[in-house]
Amino acid sequence: MSNVFNFSAGPAMIPSEVLAQAQAEFTNWQDQHTSVMEVSHRGKLFMELASQSVQDFRKLYRIPDNYQILFLQGGARGQFAAIPMNLLKENGKALYLTSGHWSATAAKEARLFGEIDEINILEQNDELKVGKLDFSDIAEQYDYVHYCPNETISGVEIFDVPNVGDAVLVADMSSNILSREIDISKFGLIYAGAQKNLGPAGITLVIVREDLIGHARKSTPTIWNYEVQKNADSMINTPPTFAWYLCALVFKYLLSIGGLPEVQKRNQAKAELLYQYLDQSDFYRNPVAKQNRSLMNVTFTTGNDELNAKFVAEATAAGLHALKGHKVLGGMRASIYNAMPIQGVEALICFMKKFAEENR
Ligand SMILES: *Cc1c(COP(=O)(O)O)cnc(C)c1O
């Protein structure tokens, strides 16, 4: 292993064990003397890989039988449109709970398809905090309620699942999928672009409850229709086979280290270490209330733009890459997804201490 740690928010790190395996079988996959990229997605070997990946993913999240797993394209943004196309009735209404950039962007896209109500659940005083999450009194009138449990840019995570009564809850888990245990049965649909916590860019995972499939609008393009994709095993067109293969390796790897209980334990330990350091520091500040601090994306600032830029430049030179915060927010952001080892967080804190001493 090199001594570079990559804190990129996405595309992000992939477990080094997975990359090593992919490298070892790059030109000779399954003894075919060809790479996985060069075989038919409808051939026996790839079909086996696809079906095994679904089984492994089900096992990781203990997904009930009445949910379908789809591997689609178009990223999370594709789902911003696919969700209303499939779930919003012609004269229906949906509710979007917004807590930052991505949930707001999802709401904006959904407006292309019908009536959308929006409730801002982010309280922005001296810290960023998510307010009450009981919508059971109003949720019933909506075809679905959408929210984003981890706002990647600001590092605001929502750990309690919103109460929407019997309404359909939809979650954009692009940046926290497979990061901790969740009760799938509380959700109607969960989706995630792969490039943060599942694998490389180019593939999008959708977990959807069976009874929500089959109600797409007539005008829904075939590749966006969940029912068509379900019946075609997510292969109505050629899927991104190499991305799918890497996701399949990531699932196997996560199972091999102990599944989500172990993954969650590691993620909590990493985040705790970093937030603890931030809290006792008078040089850096994290703007998020304790109960909403993301396990995946940790934002911090020195409070001074010039100093932030110096931090990012010197950190990069020291092998701590991609710490620059998103352009809408500035400051710094350390993305510490599943694949980031605790040694990366330790190296970051060590650098932060040194930088604070040299620049106070
Ligand atoms: C990255 C991200 C997106 C955008 O994903 P694409 O696959 O690029 O469309 C959407 N939502 C969240 C929460 C994200 O982190």
Q: Where are the domains of the chain?
A: 17-257, 259-358
Say how many residues make up the chain: 360
Q: Is 102 in the pocket of ligand 1 (CB under 6 A)?
A: yes
The answer regarding whether domain 17-257 maps to CATH 3.40.640.10 reads yes
Q: What share of the chain has pLDDT > 70, as a percent? A: 99
| Mean pLDDT, residues 131-153 taken together | 97
CA separation for the pair 197, 176 (Å, rounded): 7
| Whether pLDDT at 2 is above 80 | no
CA separation for the pair 15, 343 (Å, rounded): 14
Say if residue 98 carries a ligand binding annotation: no
Give the CATH number of domain 259-358; options: 3.90.1150.10, 3.20.20.30, 3.30.70.1140, 3.30.420.10.
Answer: 3.90.1150.10
| Mean pLDDT, residues 37-65 taken together | 98
- The pLDDT of residue 27 is 98
The answer to whether the beta carbons of residues 61 and 255 sit under 8 Å apart is: no
Q: Is 56 in the pocket of ligand 1 (CB under 6 A)?
A: no
Of 143, 172, 244, 270, the catalytic one is 172
Say if residue 42 carries a ligand binding annotation: yes
Query: Taking the C-alpha atoms of 86, 165, 178 and 228 in order, what is their torsion angle to the nearest 10 degrees?
Result: -20
Instruction: Determine the distance separating the centroid of ligand 1 and the alpha carbon of 358, expressed in angstroms.
Output: 36
Using DSSP bridges, classify how beta strands 67-72 and 150-151 pair: parallel, antiparallel or unpaired.
unpaired
| Mean pLDDT, residues 195-210 taken together | 98
To the query of whether residue 102 is one of the catalytic residues in this protein, the response is yes
| Mean pLDDT, residues 122-143 taken together | 96
| Mean pLDDT, residues 261-284 taken together | 98
Same fold, 17-257 and 259-358: no
Among the residue ranges 18-22, 121-125, 185-189, 345-349, the one predicted with the least confidence is: 121-125
| Mean pLDDT, residues 135-144 taken together | 98
Best CA proximity match to 289, nearest among 301, 275, 304:
275
- The pLDDT of residue 186 is 98
Give the angle subtended at the CA of 130 by the CAs of 340 and 192, to the nearest 5°: 45
Best CA proximity match to 310, nearest among 354, 275, 355, 357:
355
pLDDT digits (tens, 9 = 90+) for 96-114: 999 999 999 999 999 999 9
To the query of whether residue 172 is one of the catalytic residues in this protein, the response is yes
Q: What is the mean pLDDT of the chain?
A: 97
pLDDT digits (tens, 9 = 90+) for 284-307: 999 999 999 999 999 999 999 999
The answer to whether the beta carbons of residues 96 and 102 sit under 8 Å apart is: no
Of 102, 230, 244, 324, the catalytic one is 102
- The pLDDT of residue 269 is 98
Best CA proximity match to 271, nearest among 291, 255, 250, 251:
291
- The pLDDT of residue 125 is 87
CA distances from 90 to 118, 210, 221 (A): 19, 20, 15
| Whether pLDDT at 1 is above 80 | no
Band the pLDDT of 161: cuts 50, 70, 90: very high
